[in-house]
Structure 1
């Protein structure tokens, strides 16, 4: 059987780009997301283009029972996951801590931290049985440096950074690779989600410079995953040329 990649948050952006790229390398895919129509369309397109096998799972990673039910009902062949890409994540709002919306805080913590944990707990145990596998965690430059009004989003991505380091240690005896990639500005639906559909405000985030695109991140993840067996890329920060840090920019 071909290798298998499980990608969370596959309906858009980096997750979708990873799905397309891994399918082009003949990986069979388990794709998760909240939007059934988008998942099914992506699966249909990739099957037609690359002839790979794909299972789609409509679920919200915040919902532990949904995650457990969906993953545990997979057949044994599909549980032999070679690569887990913990991509599902989001930001909500950009307010100072004293004005923050607590519902937004819950959404970010439940998605970016707890959702990643729910999926990883199950899939890592499958990998332990085989003493093989690679987990790639999607962090952010916001998990390396705090910026104004980033507060809770930054906290969740700092948590991803810490969890990635902890996973690397905990899974070391089992020969499982663990990596994190921390992108700077990537033009996807990220800012539209953060600003709750305000497309004009979202566009301003990427004005005056050339941001990264989802394909840039997918190709870098593929590089990490395709290294020889003895090589593990633990941690990687990637930004557009115009972005030197979370707060320093060269905008035209």
Structure 2
């Protein structure tokens, strides 16, 4: 991790769960971290929990990833204050409670697609061009899901995952497209998709959380953050394309 000392990382969805764990881990590893979140007050609270010597290395920016102008402003702020982005962790994601076949579900479906897909498009575009313009050896990480490899069957008694797995399958395809485009642009930027199984975070709808916590093993957010650190710490000649992490005993 020595080459990342004082480099700049942007983490989306940094207010809780995997995003918060990544922000803490990257800060502890010596990076300057810009945490993007709609609930930016939670990122500010996270800063207070860090050891005092590194509290100044984590910065909170209020940003709704579904709004392109807010994403652009966040990256402009990062460029102005720190010169650009070296690492991007696309973590923000949502699971809305609805069904694909249900009437009047447009708001929930659109929110999932706009956050899980368009948020990645906006952030990766801005981060990559920052890296390309400065000709740096950057790294883009996409926090995906095992639901992007196999659609989980939660059974008839639990809520539908609706369009969520479709967005995660799309992220897997986008990871390969990004890899190809990064090469076409003759950049030094690498990309990694990390697909965890069930993680003990608040992303799951309450009905699913209750069942999962009783009957299924779960990963900790820190387990995913460790995978992020591993991916970006590999040598320049190594392309860690995809990492799948499941808790021991996961049923799917």
TM (norm. structure 1) is: 0.88
Output the aligned Cα RMSD: 1.8
Aligned-residue offset at 1:204? 1.2
Q: Equivalents in 1 of 2:182, 2:212: separation in Å?
A: 38
Distance 2:51 2:179 in 1: 33
Q: State which of 193, 199, 213 in structure 2 corresponds to 1:186.
A: 199
Distance between the aligned counterparts of 2:96 and 2:28, measured in 1? 33
| Counterpart selection for 1:25 from 29, 49, 56 | 29
Contact kept, 8 Å, 2:95 with 2:161, in 1: the verdict is no
Deviant stretches of 4+, over 6 Å: none
**TM alignment of 1:19-58, pairs within 5 A:** 19-46=23-50, 48=52, 50-58=54-62
Which sections of structure 1, spanning at least 5 residues, go unmatched? 246-252
Alignment correspondent of 2:157: none
Q: Report how far residue 19 of structure 1 moved.
A: 0.9
In the alignment, structure 1 residue 207 sits paired with structure 2 residue 207: no
Distance 2:9 2:79 in 1: 15
The count of residues paired between Structure 1 and Structure 2 equals: 238
For structure 2, list consecutive stretches of 5 or more residues without a partner in the other structure: 154-159
Where 2:108 maps in the other structure, the secondary structure is: helix
Of 232, 235, 238, the match for 2:239: 232
1:103 aligns with 2:102: no
- Decide whether aligned partners of structure 1 residues 136 and 73 sit closer, same or farther in structure 2, where only a CA change above 3 A counts: same
Instruction: Give, in whole Å, the separation in 2 of the partners of 1:147 and 1:204.
Output: 14
Q: 1:52 to 1:243 in 2, by over 3 A?
A: same
Aligned counterpart, 2:129: 125
Per-residue deviation at 1:52?
4.4
2:155 aligned with 1:155: no
Partner-residue secondary structure (3-state), 1:92: coil
CA deviation map 1:2-30 (0-9, x unaligned): 11111000000000001111111111111
CA–CA separation in structure 1 for the residues paired with 2:89 and 2:217: 26
Question: For residue 91 of structure 1, what is the aligned residue in structure 2?
Answer: 95
Q: Name the residue aligned to 2:224.
A: 217
Cα distance in 1, alignment partners of residues 26 and 79 from structure 2: 21
Secondary structure (helix, strand or coil) at the match of 1:22 reads helix
